[in-house]
Amino acid sequence: MFPRPAPRRRLAGAAVALGLIGSLSTSAWAGSRHPAPAHGHTRVTRVPSAAGTGTPLSGYSIQSTAKVSDSASDVSSPGYPAAGWYQAGPRSTVLAALLAEGVYADPFYSTNQQKIPKADFQVPWWYRSDFRVDDTSERTYLDFSGVISAADVYVNGHRVAEAADVSGAYTRHELDVTALVRAGTNTVAFRIRPNVPNKNLTMGWIDWLQPPPDENMGIVRDVLVRRGGPVALRDAHVTTRLDVPSLATADLTVKAQARNDSDAAVTAEVSGSIGATSFSRTVPLAAHETKTVTFTPADFPGLHLTKPRVWWPAGMGGQPLYDLDLTATVSGTRSDTAHETFGIRDVRAPLNSDGARQYRINGRKLLIKGGGWSPDEFLRWDRTYVADRLKYALDLGLNAIRLEGHIEPDEFFDLADRYGVLTLPGWECCDKWEGQVNGSGESGDPWTAADYPVAKASMAAEAARLRDHPSVISFLIGSDFAPDRTIEKNYLDALKAADWPTPVVSAASAKSSPQLGSSGMKMTGPYDWIPPNYWYAKREGGATGFNSETSAGPDIPTLDTLRRMMTPAELDTLWKNPGMKQYHRSPSSVFGTLKIYDAALAGRYGSPKGLTDYVRKAQLAQYENVRAQYEAYGRNATDSSKPSTGVIYWMFNSGWTSLHWQLMDRYLDQGGAYFGAKKANEPLHIQYSYDNRSVVVVDNRHAPAAGLTARATLFNPDGTQKYDKTVTGVTVKGDGAHADALTLPASVSGLSTTYLVRLTLTDSSGKEVSRNVYWLSAKADTLDWANTDWYYTPTTSYADLKGLASMAQAPVSATASTESANGTSTTTVTVRNTGKGKTPSLLTDVHLVDAKGKPVLPVRWSDNQVSLWPGESMTLTATYRTADLHGSVPRVRVSGWNTAERTVPAG
């Protein structure tokens, strides 16, 4: 993840063949759509006989080898009783299965996870599953990846692969088990070895969260039972070449491997289609011969497209997708099929004149604005939960997600394709993956000779799996460190063999590798609290170049969520004792407490008077800091000198109940960090610059804007107006350009030390299109740049925002109504500052709740945490699934910095 001086964060037998394409799928949530059978009884997967089918095993019975004395042959034979074994879903770590069975208390609450004995997971575990075939006339294969960390594999009492060969979370394996499969019930069993991220090329958690006691050992992708005839189709994919910048034509090339698995020569007919375009070839194959079958526009003119449907990131255009279907027949009988979905787009990422990586999509530059992705801590896959988070990314105006390791299953990238969210997958840092190149003090064992082929096979499998997804715009083959010459060559050879179509980046840090050269990225932090003005300096983590992971560290959740994740005693320490180690922050000694954050909160806003006061100050602080981060990068994106080209908020979300690195919490509740990001990334946006006091309009749309009116008004905390200026005729180009509308004066007569700035932007018709309110200080935060560490820059004196405490209470009324249709509800809320004086209601938060006051989540607001002056009103909408009300009548809870909490009906 990031550099630091101290730790942070060949298959055996003739029946075995190695493949290169995989599908990372993680375990199902407890109570998910995969119901478990009765305890100790293995579910049986019915496998169709038709050639060209691939059926995932529906689940497993699992047990520790410490409790199984029977032989591997017995365990892996049909009819074995598996009495007392636990049930697991089709993609499940050991601990995920035990949690689903109710063996342990909620590990997301308090320190419950500490009570789970690690010793139980330091021995291998058995995974066994039965499948049924009605006949054996077709060939049968086991096709799988996602084994953490390694496994011996058995079918019907026979070992078909050894752990030395089935090693690594990302390697893909195909076992031809035709000779062992019989009509009726068959059994496959995996003896899974424990995972040690510093010793195995799998997955680890570094310092993101308290690592799971089982270290995610298990099988976290589908195991497919594939049926086929003599000729198998593998490695099907489409390479696209789009004419840029015209986008008028595109050439498609289709490739696949045709493999004769029989003992006799055959002639296969390989035919395919993309939309209305069809193509076919006759392919003679000797016994056990494999040939690459290629279809090009030169031979099949229909693969030269005019007016192709081009895929764009969200906000830049549509997300059309194409389907490839292939069939292999032998003597007129279907032998195998293949299907791929792909998009047509062009991705380039050259280095600019400053050496920063600048992405271009279909010929257009774009500022990468994203967040670092975390899966569920126990690698449980829930499509709806993932879709909700990706929709949140769009709601926040983000365009990218970075996956440092933990590369999600195919469904994740299918959703990203559909929603237009760009993805930046890559290998993780600070464990075995970078053990050969780690710097001093980093964890991760040096590589042995056995690690190199596993790493290369991992790269080949992920390249083949991800290459057709238009959302995937790069692969980062290093994180904190770039690979050495040998590792890099292995990765690049695998990528080239897979026809990898997008830029390959040497590292997420400012490192270089021998062939690729400079990464064009920086990993300068910060990872802990810094003030908002930090982001405007074009140095360290400030808004210049491509910052691959950065934020001001802690992101304290809402009070609703805090009460779900911590005991009353723990909540007391949260606000009373800044030096106390916080279990829900990080296992790292650097990030174990909230000391830096709490000192800034008290120094700028005043010491907290209680838990509620601490949380409301945290939301204010997180709103201003996250907003400033994205606004600074947005403002500088089109600068002629040292422009910003990308920023990844560290992190987008957390895999558990966390106190840091998250724009939304584990339960998808939204606080200051969320709405600060949403405000900063508006399509057309007015903002304040902390470095030079300029008021700037940023146009994130493609089209330019003209005839705009910008207004800036300054107030004391009591609402007394001290400055007001309006500028008309503001024009701004599109594609992220900005225009300076005005500059606020360095001093204003009568303005208090703490003051408010209200910015508004109206279009030519007078409609307000952007509104932004800041709380600032005449005394600026002072940064100690000379003592910058790898994780933050110290602040020697704080801005004085304590004047906000003097703001009078501002009464806010609310009326709400709800409409529902087709499973979706929309609640419309009008909030109004009904005060008779001058005091605004600062950061007025509206929460949708049920009859018991519990937040209804997820929810997407048109706007939220708004500030209203007396007499002003604003109408907000909340969209959500009706089912998430659980039969309750919706209600709206309104609160704010200086607004008393009240709840009104919204039915």
Strand order, beta sheet including 147-148: 92-93, 218-219, 147-148
Q: Amino acid identity of 825?
A: S
Q: Amino acid identity of 435?
A: G
Beta-carbon count within 10 A of 508 CB = 32
* CA 86 centroid distance within chain: 31
Tell me the C-alpha to C-alpha distance, in Å, between residue 335 and each of 281, 293, 634. Answer: 15, 15, 53
Closest by alpha carbon to 472, among 407, 521, 406, 548?
Answer: 407
Cis peptide before 81 (omega within 30 of 0): no
Which structure tokens are listed for 149? Answer: 């960390």
Angle at the Cα of 80 (from 74 to 86), degrees rounded to 5? Answer: 110
Which structure tokens are listed for 697? Answer: 């309009």
Cβ 96 vs Cβ 88: under 8 Å:
yes
Beta-carbon count within 10 A of 137 CB = 11
Q: What is the DSSP letter of 405?
A: S
* Euclidean distance between CA atoms 551 and 541, whole angstroms: 9
* CA 547 centroid distance within chain: 16
Cis peptide before 69 (omega within 30 of 0): no
* Euclidean distance between CA atoms 184 and 895, whole angstroms: 63
Beta-carbon count within 10 A of 625 CB = 24
Q: Amino acid identity of 540?
A: E
For residue 304, which phi and psi values (nearest 5 degrees)?
A: -95, 110
Q: How many CA atoms lie less than 13 Å away from 775 in the CB half-sphere?
A: 29
* CA 516 centroid distance within chain: 26
Assess whether 784 carries a catalytic annotation.
no
Closest by alpha carbon to 508, among 647, 663, 347, 367?
Answer: 647
Cβ 218 vs Cβ 148: under 8 Å:
yes
Task: Identify the sign of the CA torsion 543, 549, 555, 561.
Answer: positive
Closest by alpha carbon to 897, among 854, 859, 840, 853?
Answer: 840
C-beta pairs of 521-524 under 8 Å, 24+ apart in sequence: 521/356, 521/357, 521/545, 521/546, 521/547, 521/548, 521/646, 522/356, 522/546, 522/547, 522/548, 523/2, 523/3, 523/480, 523/547, 523/548, 523/549, 524/550
Q: Which of 174, 176, 261, 480 is catalytic?
A: 480
Angle at the Cα of 224 (from 221 to 229), degrees rounded to 5? Answer: 155
Q: Which of 549, 631, 781, 800 is catalytic?
A: 549
Cβ 565 vs Cβ 557: under 8 Å:
yes
Largest CA distance in the chain: 94
* Euclidean distance between CA atoms 443 and 445, whole angstroms: 7
* Euclidean distance between CA atoms 457 and 725, whole angstroms: 62
Q: Amino acid identity of 672?
A: G
Task: Identify the sign of the CA torsion 557, 560, 563, 568.
Answer: positive
Q: Are strands 322-330 and 266-274 parallel, antiparallel or unpaired?
A: antiparallel
Q: How many CA atoms lie less than 13 Å away from 350 in the CB half-sphere?
A: 6
Assess whether 174 carries a catalytic annotation.
no
Q: Are strands 151-155 and 360-361 parallel, antiparallel or unpaired?
A: unpaired
Q: Which residue has the tokens 């994919």?
A: 237
Please identify every residue annotated as catalytic.
Answer: 480, 549
